[in-house]
């Protein structure tokens, strides 16, 4: 997962692991250039933590473009709760 984060063009990624549930939590902020990051949360099972991280980073980038194209004053971010498969 570390190599994915190093290669990513976004601003930041926060990762946490919840031992009681076995879930990984990823918060990805792609851009705050136009304003604070907005996005939402996705919670679903993933085959492995890396898949959840990839999804968070992809979705955060998508949110940045979703808000930038119409000129909205927000950046892009996304939280993913990756449940064990």
Asked if the model's pLDDT at residue 36 lies above 90, the reply is yes
pLDDT value at position 72?
Answer: 96
- pLDDT-derived band at 85 (thresholds 50, 70, 90) equals confident
pLDDT, averaged across the chain: 97
CB 81 within 8 A of CB 25: yes
Q: Where are the domains of the chain?
A: 2-84
Helix residue ranges, H only, 8-77: 49-68
**Could you report the per-residue pLDDT of 49-73, keeping only the tens digit for each?**
999 999 999 999 999 999 999 999 9
Is position 61 annotated as part of the catalytic site? no
CATH classification (class only), 2-84: alpha beta
Q: Give the residue carrying structure tokens 């980038």.
A: 61
Residue among 67, 45, 52 at smallest CA distance from 14: 52
CB 53 within 8 A of CB 13: yes
pLDDT value at position 52?
Answer: 98
Of the residues 78, 79, 81, 82, only one is catalytic, namely 78
pLDDT value at position 1?
Answer: 86
Q: Is 32 helix (H, G, I), strand (E, B) or coil?
A: coil
């Amino acid at each position: 997962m570390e190599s994915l984060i190093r290669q990513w063009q976004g601003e930041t990624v926060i990762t946490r692991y919840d031992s009681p549930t076995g879930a990984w939590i990823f918060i990805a902020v792609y851009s705050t250039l136009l304003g604070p990051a907005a996005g939402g949360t996705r919670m679903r099972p993933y085959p492995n933590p890396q898949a959840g991280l990839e999804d968070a980073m992809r979705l955060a980038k998508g949110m940045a473009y979703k808000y930038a194209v119409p000129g909205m004053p927000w950046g892009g971010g996304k939280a993913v709760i990756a449940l064990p498969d």
